[in-house]
Amino acid sequence: MRILVTGGTGYIGSHTTLELLQAGHDVVVMDNLANSSTESLNRVQELSGRTASFVQADLLDPQALEAIFAEHSPEAVIHFAGLKAVGESVAKPLHYYRNNVAGTLNLLAAMDRHDVRTIVFSSSATVYGASEEVPLVEDMPMDAVNPYGRTKEQIEDILADLGASDERWSIALLRYFNPVGAHESGRIGEDPTGVPNNLLPFVAQVAVGRREKVMVFGNDYNTPDGTGVRDYIHVMDLAAGHLAALDYIAARKGVKRWNLGTGNGSSVLEVLAAFSKAAGKDVPYEFAPRRPGDAAVSYADPSAARAELGWSAGRSLDDMCRDHWNWQKQNPQGYATQA
Ligand code: NAD
Ligand code: WQD
């Protein structure tokens, strides 16, 4: 297929673009480079031995979107582009609603005009909010607790309404749990701007010497070791989940929601231990107060994706830490270091 990948130079988009190219799909990547660089795409092309088209464009620019559809005639869209920093979304809600929600409306309008009605959307486990019931199942109510999460919830609602209004649409809403790791080559990986918000990139930057120690947010949760438990999923398993979802919806109409997680929870201390083992060194840490808005435990029931997509996430926490470390140690400053 010819696939438009929005946000394709970003972390998950670059790994999925690699999988798409290796599976023989033709890819056009569009990204405004707000949180990424084209170096990821250079490396994806080097790894796959294939080229993808690249257009630097913003979802908020309807004319640019129109030109992409007119020139490249994609048959399906995988929509990663969006802003994702929870704290920033609390400080700048309008920026987040405009970029993520209005940007998606522009994309959907362009798709409709060009008779492209197959879309895989990057949603998030964040739509479950602070639910205390685990595992999380797709039919549980959405209850996001911050503006970022509410943009995901609103886009899911928009896509569900769209699917209900017009039976020609094929829509997959993929709720990612905690994506980590990197391609096994270490050539592509996660390269956060500024201080990482998420645990794994922070741990990796401490291990590589860019930061002094990890602050463990809370050790008094009702969990086996008192620290928060999450469902970490290897980014290459996640990428494969997109291809499975695309295959599924390319052959069927309607709206589907799938959790993409492993179904296993790991605590912050377990992650630190696994990463220290992978890096062959202790990663210094210190306990700190809980981070506001954090749930104690979050992990998926991934059985719907397994049953319907024939997909499951097979890589272990050790695999995730090994590959994340391999990327970080080869690229201590991320993509900025070397070509
Ligand atoms: P990322 O920031 O690495 O990638 C997102 C890309 O979108 C970036 O390259 C950015 O430049 C681009 N972008 C943002 N706004 C744009 C706009 N208006 N026009 C064009 N491009 C724009 O993030 P990621 O981790 O790869 O996440 C991809 C998607 O998955 C996002 O929608 C994110 O919300 C979602 N998601 C991520 C996680 C996670 O923990 N990484 C978890 C659940 C869901
Ligand atoms: C994991 C665990 C922290 C950093 C976030 C978003 C969510 C989704 C995935 C996009 C928690 C603890 C973290 C640190 C720590 N993104 N922690 N020290 O909060 O589960 O989910 O990313 O959709 O929307 O909210 O992931 O990696 O930030 O935290 O102790 O420096 O690590 O308290 O228990 P989270 P995370």
Check pLDDT > 50 for residue 339.
no
For position 234, what pLDDT does the model report?
Answer: 98
Measure 198 CA to ligand 2 centroid, in angstroms. 5
pLDDT in tens, 10-28: 999 999 999 999 999 999 9
Q: Is the dihedral of CA 234, 239, 245, 251 positive or negative?
A: negative
User: Which of the listed residues 235, 268, 272 should we mutate to test ligand 2's pocket, taking the one with most ligand atoms within 8 A of CB?
Assistant: 268
Residue type (1 letter), 326: N
For position 130, what pLDDT does the model report?
Answer: 85
pLDDT in tens, 267-318: 999 999 999 999 999 999 999 999 999 999 999 999 999 999 999 999 999 9
**Residue 231, SS3?**
coil
- Average pLDDT for residues 145-149, to the nearest whole number? 97
For position 132, what pLDDT does the model report?
Answer: 86
Measure 185 CA to ligand 1 centroid, in angstroms. 22
Q: Rounded CA gap, 175 and 183, in Å?
A: 21
Ligand 1 interacting residues, C-beta cut-off 6 A:
7, 9-13, 31-36, 58-60, 80-84, 99, 103, 122, 124, 176, 179, 198
Check pLDDT > 90 for residue 260.
yes
Check pLDDT > 90 for residue 109.
yes
- Average pLDDT for residues 122-137, to the nearest whole number? 95
Measure 109 CA to ligand 2 centroid, in angstroms. 33
Rounded mean pLDDT of the chain?
97
- Average pLDDT for residues 82-111, to the nearest whole number? 98
- Average pLDDT for residues 60-71, to the nearest whole number? 98
Burial of 159 by CB count in 10 Å (0-12 exposed, 13-18 middle, 19+ buried)?
buried
For position 337, what pLDDT does the model report?
Answer: 60
Q: Which one of 11, 96, 128, 148 is the catalytic residue? A: 148
Q: Rounded CA gap, 94 and 103, in Å?
A: 12
Ligand 2 interacting residues, C-beta cut-off 6 A:
84, 86, 124, 126, 178, 197-199, 202, 214-217, 228, 230, 268, 291, 294
Ligand closest to the CA atom of residue 82: 1
CA 49 from centroid of its chain's CA atoms: 24
**Annotated catalytic residue 148:** yes
For position 248, what pLDDT does the model report?
Answer: 98
- Read off the DSSP letter of residue 139: T
Check pLDDT > 70 for residue 338.
no
pTM of the model: 0.98
Measure 261 CA to ligand 2 centroid, in angstroms. 15
pLDDT confidence bin for 80, thresholds 50/70/90: very high
- Average pLDDT for residues 150-158, to the nearest whole number? 98
β-sheet bridge partners, residue 122: 174
Q: Rounded CA gap, 6 and 305, in Å?
A: 23
Closest CA to 214 of 312, 115, 287: 287
- Average pLDDT for residues 121-128, to the nearest whole number? 98
- Average pLDDT for residues 170-197, to the nearest whole number? 97
Token pair, residue 238, equals 């996640």
